[in-house]
Amino acid sequence: MRTVHHDLNERPFLLVWEVTRACQLVCKHCRADAQFTPDPLQLTTEEGKALLDDLAGYPDGRPMVIISGGDAFERDDLAELIRHGTEAGLPISLSPSVTPKFTDERLAELSDAGVKAMSLSLDGATATTHDAFRGIDGSFAESLRAADLIRKHGFRFQVNTTICADNLEELPQIVRTVRQMGAHLWYVLFLVPMGRGSHLSPLTPEQEEDVLNWLHDVSDWIPVKVTEAPNYRRIVLQRDAEADGEIARGGNPAPPRGELYDRLLAETRELLGEPERVRVRRPPIGVNSGRGFAFIDHVGHVHPSGFLPHDAGSVRDRSFRDIYREDPMFRALRDPSGYSGKCGVCEFNDVCGGSRARAFAMTGDPLASDPTCAYQPRGA
C-alpha cells in the first residue's frame, strides 16, 4: 500500500481549488450545479494568488493542487494564477471542460505557465452515451480532439469517468476508449448523489464490490485511481492476501465476486486481449475527505471534499492552513475510530474509512458508515 509520509493532520497531500463555477456544459452528474456565468463573488486574481502563496508556505513540502470548476477555462486570468502558483513551487494540474475555449493556443499558454498534467472527462464509450451525460451533442468527438491536443503538448494525461448505474454496462468499452485516447491514468469516481447527480443512481453495494474487484484487474491494462470508493484499498489488501493464501488484517474474507465481475472481466479480455505484461499496479494511497484531501470552492470556502458540503470557513477570513488543521469536522474525519457503525470498528478503517461524502449524501451524517460498502468487519 502506497502511503503518505507526512502528518496528514498538518498538511493535505492533495487539494482541489474550484476557480469558478461558470461552465458552458450541463452535465447530468455535475456536483457544482455549474452556471453559465461566473459568480460575482468568486475569488479575485489577487485573492487567488494570496491563497496559492498560503498553500506554498508549508515549511516541509507542498500539497498537489488540482484546478477545477465549473470550467477553469472560463477564467481569463487562469495562466496568470497558474504561473504564480508554479513559481511558488506548487505542483499544479488542471481539469477543464471541453468547450470551444479548449484551444491549441490556450494549452500552449498553460504549458508555458507550468501545468504538467491535465484531465478530461469521459462518461460513455460512444457519442450517444457520453453526449447524453454531458448535455451537448458533439461533446464526445470534441473530447477525442482535446485528447490529441493534450498529448501534442506533452501533458501527463488522465481521463476521468463517473461510474453510476447508467454507464455500468459500458465500462469495458469505456476502458478501451480511454486507452485509445492515450491516457496515462484512468481516474474513476463513484457517483455521490448530490447536485445534478442526485437524479442518478449510485451502484448497489454488491455492484460496487464487483466493479472494484474488476478495477483491480483492469489496472493490469492501465493504471487506475479510484475516488469516493476508498474501500478499493480494502479490496487491494484482500486480493493481495488472497493471492498469498492469507486473510488480510485478521478480518473476514472478502464477499465472493459475483456475476457482474465475471461479465465485466470477460468483456474486457475480449476487447483488449490479455495484458501485454503484468504491470506494476499503481497502489492506492490512504487519503480521504479532510484526511489528506481538501476542497476550496469558487468563493473561497474550505470543505473536506467537493462532495461533502461541510463549510469549515473562508480563506478570505483565515489561512487555509489553519482551517485544515483546526476545524473540528476535519479533525473528526481524520479519526476513523470515531465513525459510527461498521466503519468505526472495521479492520481497514485507517486505510479506507469509507466514502464520507456518500455517508453524508445518503444518511445526513458524514461520520456514519459508508452505506455502499458490502464488507462486514469482524466486530460489526
Residues at the interface with ligand SF4 (CB under 6 A): 231, 234, 342-343, 346, 348-349, 352-354, 369-370, 373, 375, 377
324 in Cβ contact with 302 (< 8 Å)? yes
CB of 94 to ligand SF4, least distance (A): 30
Q: How far from 150 is each of 81, 179, 377, CA to CA, in Å?
A: 20, 14, 44
Closer of 78 and 308 to ligand SF4 (Cβ): 308
Which runs of E-coded beta strand occur in the chain? 14-18, 64-68, 92-94, 117-121, 156-163, 185-190, 224-227, 288-289, 292-296, 302-303
| β-strand partners of 22 | 35
Strands 292-296 and 288-289: parallel
159, three cell numbers: 481521463
State which residue, 249 or 321, has the beta carbon closest to ligand SF4. 249
Q: Which is nearer to ligand SF4, 163 or 343 (CB)?
A: 343
Residue nearer to ligand SF4 on the CB measure, 329 or 346: 346
Q: How far is the CB of 202 from ligand SF4 (least distance, A)?
A: 14
User: Which lies closer to ligand SF4 via its Cβ, residue 219 or residue 355?
Assistant: 355
As to burial, measured by CB atoms within 10 angstroms (0-12 exposed, 13-18 middle, 19+ buried), residue 297 is buried
> Smallest distance, Å, CB 264 to ligand SF4?
21
Q: How far is the CB of 139 from ligand SF4 (least distance, A)?
A: 33
Least separation in angstroms between CB 157 and ligand SF4: 30
How many residues can be counted in the chain? 380
Secondary structure class of 233 (helix, strand, coil): helix
Q: State the residue for C-alpha cell 477525442.
A: 144
Please report how close the Cβ of residue 255 comes to ligand SF4 at its closest, in angstroms: 11
Rank residues 96 and 284 by Cβ distance to ligand SF4 and give the closer one. Answer: 284
Q: Which of 89, 6, 17 is nearest to 53 (CA)?
A: 89
Quick one: cell of 57?
Answer: 508556505
Residue that the C-alpha cell 502506497 belongs to = 2
Residue from 72, 75, 167, 83 nearest 118 by CA? 72
The residue written with cell numbers 488543521 in the block is 325
CB of 372 to ligand SF4, least distance (A): 8
Which is nearer to ligand SF4, 172 or 354 (by Cβ)?
354
Helix (H) or strand (E) holding 340: none
Residue 29: CB minimum distance to ligand SF4, A: 22
- Residue closer to ligand SF4 by CB (options 306, 353) is 353
Strand ranges for 237-301 from DSSP E:
288-289, 292-296
